[in-house]
């Protein structure tokens, strides 16, 4: 059979493609950090603080130490030395401050802070002994009530890298607001939210005979954890390797190295054996979280709906020891055109762990308040909420006055509204009803940064024609394995099965943490470049082969298909890659390439992904029972590499947005300083019954400034705006404006 007949490998990029790691995951062959075994593995169990603030006076561990199987109990009073400088504890994405050091001192900053680690021969023995460890505390007054601490809020003196502080005021907000004919001002409160990935944190440290450590860790950045652990424990970087081949969800909580990694390595080094430490679900609630937030938004517009004044102030909780910062209020200066803006952002210290980036950090919180306020303004002006957004549409980033590299938000508005049936909406609240239920339509805009970061990738072609691409990226359930396989397969015209993707290993080529929705665009671009370079090498070698049919061929004249290079118009004239390797006397061909964002180009444009979210809610008028039977999310995210995994990302974001709107709430006892609902039964996330029909559509958007793939990320845009769309629909249904999330039924009772 001539090669042409079998060379019709379809392109994978842009087509719905099943996850290449799916079969491994559903059959349990994909191993997670706490599933690796090692000879002589010891098990660590963390003992947590019972109080929220104060000092540990003494750890009583004698009874626990007598338990069979107990090896050692670590605490601030008994632990190996670690780095003294804060710098060593500051990871790639640490905010300013003094990073938390497990067992660093006797100080207690937050309830459930780890105070001891019991290491034993079995998990059960460690857990059992841990229940016998008690502590005496000197208790000091804790602070967990943001409402009360708002008065103590401060402008963080040191700004967090990569997070733009609020821009300087534009125009004269106060005067414009005073003079405007239509205005609103309101306070919006967000409950603390917890990432709650299914997979709990766990670290298995496998200690080799030569003392080198192989660390299986749940993380979004193997190289971040590796550098951190090397710094904290003063190890040569060559002595430590971190693997995170599969990650069972993260949503940002695994961006920073976790306490389980520090404690497992600490124990492994001290005991000179392999150690595993896992967190309980309860302890997962003592990690970083989406902070409590109190916001005030004041908006004014003319009778025509054109914005005249925007003020957005936010106060966010942070820990006693770090100034965690997000871009919360900036969105209110960039999203719509307005000449008079005033934006401010401050922090208040609370006795909690440091908050941690959670799916679209800052935007999820800030755009909620802005978009709820826009709905209030639309109502005050008597203008359709969608029409208000369209009238204030901006072709430039209001904060920087830069044009957008691409912004198909208008298409999101139009196509989303058409799909949803927005035109059927009656303007007045409480004007739609069916049986006992009031019906409401609400919408909101979503926006998130489209970022690209430097990534290096490697591509290796074997003699059997198989292709391997690799970079130290992570797949936290987003589909990284799959999209990289698609890109590589298309580069060489191979079926997906012939491509192996290796990620999740600090030993691979350089890749920053997986976050910020930058992985598809950045890792994808680097793999694409490595493949292109590898093809150049292969063609150069093919040209040099004796009697090569490709002797004169240039890259644009050939096609790579199914392990062959052939003339594009004449597939019979070519050579197999296996023959190329044989002729070169090589077992494989290999190239490494780096994708580097074009800073100059980036400096001239603002790059964001956008969405328009439309929600229908139904509220039982008498009982407050609330349903969201359908929701449309129209997304402008540049080129869509894989419509199937892309849709899944948006679905996940939307569901998380529903949780934010209706369910998720860390409940603190203010007297005890303690989160009380630290389990899945009582910390509510949406269940299937809460999730109606979610219709995801991607509008056409041509992006050509962010790298050659034209891709923007999709991991986060799905959540931004969703809670506001739901809250706005609730107002439309009931006439009742609930500004404190989550909107539980008691808040809707008349």
Partner 1 sequence: MIRFDYVRPTSVPDAVKALAAKPGAQVIAGGTNLVDLLKYDVAKPSRLIDINRLPLRAIEDTADGGLKLGALVTNADAAYDVRVAQRFPLLASAILAGASAQLRNAATTGGNLLQRTRCLYFYDPHVPCNKREPGTGCPARTGVNRNLAVLGTSEHCIATHPSDMCVALAALNAVVHVTGPAGERQIALSDFHRVPGDRPDLDNTLERGELITAVEVPFSDFGRHYTYLKLRDRLSYAFALVSVAAAVRLDAGRIDELRVALGGVAPKPWRNLEAEGLLAGAAPERRAYEAFADRLLAGAQGFGDNDFKLGLARRAIVRALTQAVAGTPQSQSDKRVA
| One-character DSSP codes across 136-149 | EEEE------HHHH
The answer to the question of residue 296 lying near partner 1 (CB under 8 A) is no
Helix (H) or strand (E) holding 501: strand 499-502
Distance, CA of 718 to CA of 695 (rounded, Å) = 12
Alpha-carbon distances of 542 from 2, 405, 488, 537, 588, rounded to whole Å: 20, 39, 20, 9, 14
The answer to the question of residue 686 lying near partner 1 (CB under 8 A) is yes
The answer to the question of residue 187 lying near partner 1 (CB under 8 A) is no
CB nearer to partner 1: give 5 or 681: 681
Distance, CA of 512 to CA of 93 (rounded, Å) = 10
Residue among 109, 218, 535, 678 that touches partner 1 (CB under 8 A): 678
Site for partner 1 in 253-282 (CB under 8 A): none
The residues, any chain, with a CB within 8 Å of residue 572's CB and separated by 6 or more, are 2, 3, 4, 566
Query: Does residue 33 contact residue 216 with C-beta atoms inside 8 Å?
Result: yes
Q: Smallest distance, Å, CB 129 to partner 1?
A: 8
* Dihedrals phi, psi of 534, to nearest 5 degrees: -65, -35
| One-character DSSP codes across 146-167 | HHHHGGG-B--SSPPTT-PPPP
Query: Per DSSP, what are the bridge partners of residue 505?
Result: 243
Distance, CA of 475 to CA of 260 (rounded, Å) = 20
Q: Smallest distance, Å, CB 194 to partner 1?
A: 15
Residue among 668, 698, 718, 731 that touches partner 1 (CB under 8 A): 668
Site for partner 1 in 623-662 (CB under 8 A): 623-625, 627, 662
Residue among 132, 227, 261, 284 that touches partner 1 (CB under 8 A): 132
CB nearer to partner 1: give 464 or 669: 669
Q: Smallest distance, Å, CB 423 to partner 1?
A: 25
Site for partner 1 in 402-421 (CB under 8 A): none
**Cα 418 from chain centroid (whole Å):** 30
Site for partner 1 in 45-84 (CB under 8 A): 50, 67
**Cα 598 from chain centroid (whole Å):** 23
Residue among 303, 544, 670, 702 that touches partner 1 (CB under 8 A): 670
Residue among 382, 667, 700, 704 that touches partner 1 (CB under 8 A): 667
657, exposed or middle or buried, with CB in 10 Å at 0-12, 13-18, 19+? buried
CB nearer to partner 1: give 335 or 662: 662
* Dihedrals phi, psi of 702, to nearest 5 degrees: -100, 115
Residue among 4, 66, 131, 140 that touches partner 1 (CB under 8 A): 131
CB nearer to partner 1: give 329 or 662: 662
The answer to the question of residue 198 lying near partner 1 (CB under 8 A) is no
Distance, CA of 340 to CA of 307 (rounded, Å) = 9
Residue among 337, 676, 697, 738 that touches partner 1 (CB under 8 A): 676
| One-character DSSP codes across 269-287 | HHHTS-EEEE--HHHHTTS
Q: Smallest distance, Å, CB 671 to partner 1?
A: 6
CB nearer to partner 1: give 413 or 683: 683
Q: Residue with structure tokens 């780096």?
A: 594
The answer to the question of residue 436 lying near partner 1 (CB under 8 A) is yes
Q: Smallest distance, Å, CB 689 to partner 1?
A: 4
Instruction: Find the part of the chain contacting partner 1 (CB under 8 A) among 432-440, 450-458, 535-543, 733-741.
Output: 432-440
Q: Indicate the Cα dihedral angle 272, 277, 283, 287, nearest 10°.
A: 70
- Binding mask 104-123 toward partner 1 (x if CB under 8 A, else -) reads -------x------------
Q: Smallest distance, Å, CB 144 to partner 1?
A: 12
Examine the residue annotation and report whether 434 is marked as an active-site residue of this protein.
Answer: no
Q: Could you list the active site residues? A: 716
Can you give the binding site for partner 1, defined by CB under 8 A? Answer: 50, 67, 111, 128-129, 131-132, 435-437, 618, 620, 622-625, 627, 662-663, 667-672, 674, 676-679, 681-682, 684, 686-690, 744-746, 749
């Amino acid at each position: 059979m001539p090669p042409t007949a079998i060379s019709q490998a379809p392109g994978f990029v842009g087509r719905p493609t099943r996850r290449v790691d799916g079969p491994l995951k559903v059959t349990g062959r994909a191993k997670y950090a706490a599933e690796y075994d090692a000879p002589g593995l010891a098990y660590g169990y963390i003992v947590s603080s019972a109080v929220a603030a104060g000092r540990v006076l003494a750890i009583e561990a004698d009874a626990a130490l007598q338990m069979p199987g107990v090896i050692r109990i670590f605490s601030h009073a008994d632990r190996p030395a670690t780095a003294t400088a804060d710098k060593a504890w500051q990871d790639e994405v640490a905010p300013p401050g003094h990073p938390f050091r497990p067992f660093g001192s006797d100080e207690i900053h937050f309830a459930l802070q780890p105070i001891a680690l019991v290491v034993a021969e079995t998990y059960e023995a460690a857990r059992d002994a841990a229940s016998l460890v008690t502590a005496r505390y000197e208790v000091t007054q804790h602070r967990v009530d943001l409402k009360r601490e708002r008065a103590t809020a401060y402008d963080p003196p040191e700004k967090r890298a990569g997070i733009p502080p609020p821009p300087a005021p534009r125009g004269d907000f106060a005067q414009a607001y005073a003079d405007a004919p239509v205005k609103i001002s309101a306070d919006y409160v967000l409950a603390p939210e917890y990432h709650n990935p299914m997979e709990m944190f766990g670290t298995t440290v496998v200690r080799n005979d030569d003392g080198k450590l192989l660390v299986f860790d749940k993380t979004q950045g193997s190289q971040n954890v590796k550098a951190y652990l090397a710094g904290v424990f003063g190890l040569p970087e060559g002595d430590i390797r971190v693997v995170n081949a599969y990650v069972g969800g993260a949503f940002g909580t695994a961006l920073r190295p976790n306490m389980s990694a520090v404690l497992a390595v600490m124990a492994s080094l001290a005991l000179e054996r392999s150690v595993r430490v896992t967190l309980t679900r309860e302890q997962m609630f003592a990690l970083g979280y989406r902070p409590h937030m109190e916001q005030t938004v004041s908006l004014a517009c003319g009778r025509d709906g054109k914005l005249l004044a925007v003020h957005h102030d936010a106060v966010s909780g942070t820990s006693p020891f770090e100034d965690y910062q997000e871009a919360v209020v900036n969105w209110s200066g960039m999203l719509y055109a307005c000449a008079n803006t005033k934006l401010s952002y401050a922090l208040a210290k609370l006795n909690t762990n440091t908050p941690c980036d959670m799916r679209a950090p800052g935007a999820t919180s800030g755009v909620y308040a802005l978009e709820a306020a826009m709905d209030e303004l639309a109502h005050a002006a008597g203008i359709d909420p969608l029409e208000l957004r369209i009238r204030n549409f901006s072709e430039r980033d209001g904060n920087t006055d830069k044009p957008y590299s691409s912004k198909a938000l208008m298409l999101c508005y139009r196509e989303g509204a058409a799909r949803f049936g927005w035109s059927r909406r009656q303007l007045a609240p409480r004007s739609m009803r069916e049986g006992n239920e009031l019906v409401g339509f609400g919408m909101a805009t979503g926006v998130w940064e489209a970022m690209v970061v430097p990534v290096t990738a490697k591509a290796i072609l074997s003699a059997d024609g198989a292709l391997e691409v690799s970079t130290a990226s992570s797949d936290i359930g987003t589909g990284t394995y799959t999209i990289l396989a698609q890109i590589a397969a298309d580069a060489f015209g191979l079926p997906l099965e012939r491509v192996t993707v290796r990620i999740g290993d600090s030993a691979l080529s350089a890749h920053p943490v997986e976050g910020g929705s930058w992985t598809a665009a950045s890792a994808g671009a680097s793999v694409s470049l490595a493949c292109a370079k590898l093809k150049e090498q292969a063609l150069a070698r093919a040209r040099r082969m004796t009697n090569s049919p490709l002797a004169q061929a240039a890259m644009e004249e050939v096609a790579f298909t199914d392990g062959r290079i052939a003339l594009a118009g004449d597939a019979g004239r070519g050579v197999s890659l296996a023959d190329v390797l044989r002729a070169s006397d090589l077992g494989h061909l290999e190239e490494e390439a780096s994708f580097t964002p074009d800073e100059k180009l980036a400096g001239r444009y603002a790059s964001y992904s956008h969405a328009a979210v439309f929600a229908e809610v139904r509220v039982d008028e008498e009982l407050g029972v609330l349903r969201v039977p359908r929701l449309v999310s129209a997304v402008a995210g540049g080129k869509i590499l894989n419509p199937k995994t892309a849709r899944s990302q948006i679905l996940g974001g939307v569901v998380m947005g529903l949780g934010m709107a209706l369910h998720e709430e860390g409940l603190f006892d203010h007297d005890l300083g303690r989160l009380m609902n630290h389990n899945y039964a009582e910390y509510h996330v949406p269940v299937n019954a809460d999730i109606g029909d979610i219709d995801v559509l991607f509008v056409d958007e041509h992006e050509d400034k962010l790298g050659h793939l034209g891709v923007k990320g999709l991991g986060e845009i799905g959540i931004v705006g969703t809670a506001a769309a739901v809250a706005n629909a609730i107002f439309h249904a009931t006439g009742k404006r609930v500004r404190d999330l989550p909107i539980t039924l008691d808040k809707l009772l008349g």
